[in-house]
Amino acid sequence: MMQLRMNKGTYGYFQRRKWMQTAKCLLVLLGMGILLAIGYHTTHTRKNMMTVIAIVSALPFANAAVILFTVLPYHARPGEEYRTIKALAGDGVLSTELLLTRSTGKNFLIDYAYIHPKGIFLYTSDDTLQEKEAIAHIKGILAGHGLHTEIKIDKHLEQYQNHLKALEPVHRSDCAEELLKIEGVLHAISI
């Protein structure tokens, strides 16, 4: 059975989010069309309550469309690559497919985020990502939640894998609560 809801930070999240937002857009458009047709059919004029409801339905459509068009250009990393990173992270606090939002400027694509007691180790395939700007943004958000840690961003996969290999394993089940809070904040600021 197909899972309708997928948690942020899970492999395959972008693809699922695209399908769900597309379905929402189509359903709302279909509903708007039905409301307009019913209103016109029953009153023989477009000036009726059904038209007003259809127009107000444009707000949920716009919300779903904005999220869809924001996520549309992004894709999951190859499955073999993900399995390699997952093996290196073990049972640690690993998130993938995060699109960190900002109130101004470009969003930040984070392909992998490994949260460890020594810091947050991020990998991005986005060559245009400004590392200092991204680190400052994430640190600012974390500081607002009373969390502080080092952040390292890699743009080369081999370098990222070497960083993960050098870290001692940490298991999600017995890690410090602060690591899980950091993960929660990253998911909260992600689409």
Q: What is the CA radius of gyration of the chain?
A: 21
Residue boundaries of the structural domains of the chain? 13-71, 79-188
Using alpha carbons, select from 113, 123, 174 the residue that is nearest to residue 149.
113
Q: How confident is the model at residue 184 (pLDDT cuts 50, 70, 90)?
A: very high
pLDDT at position 6, please?
A: 82
The C-alpha angle with vertex 106 and arms to 9 and 14, in degrees rounded to 5, equals 30
Structure tokens given for 26: 């189509």
Q: Are 186 and 146 in contact (CB under 8 A)?
A: no
Q: For residue 21, how many other CB atoms are within 10 A of its CB?
A: 21
Alpha helices per DSSP H over 1-95: 13-43, 49-56, 58-71, 79-89
Q: How confident is the model at residue 143 (pLDDT cuts 50, 70, 90)?
A: very high
Indicate the pTM of the whole model: 0.87
End-to-end, the C-alpha distance of the chain in Å comes to 25
Using alpha carbons, select from 135, 116, 112, 133 the residue that is nearest to residue 124.
112
The packing angle between helices 157-166 and 79-89, to 10°, is: 20
Q: How confident is the model at residue 132 (pLDDT cuts 50, 70, 90)?
A: very high
pLDDT at position 65, please?
A: 95
pLDDT at position 4, please?
A: 64
pLDDT, tens digit, 9 for 90 and up, residues 65-115: 999 999 999 999 999 999 999 999 999 999 999 999 888 888 999 999 999
Using alpha carbons, select from 85, 80, 106 the residue that is nearest to residue 95.
85
Which residues touch 152 (CB under 8 Å, ≥6 apart)? Answer: 119, 120, 121, 122, 163
Arithmetic mean of pLDDT, 52-70: 93
Q: Mean pLDDT score of the chain, rounded to an integer?
A: 93
Hey, what amino acid is at 46?
A: R
The rounded percent of the chain whose pLDDT value lies above 70 is 98
Q: How confident is the model at residue 59 (pLDDT cuts 50, 70, 90)?
A: very high
pLDDT at position 1, please?
A: 44
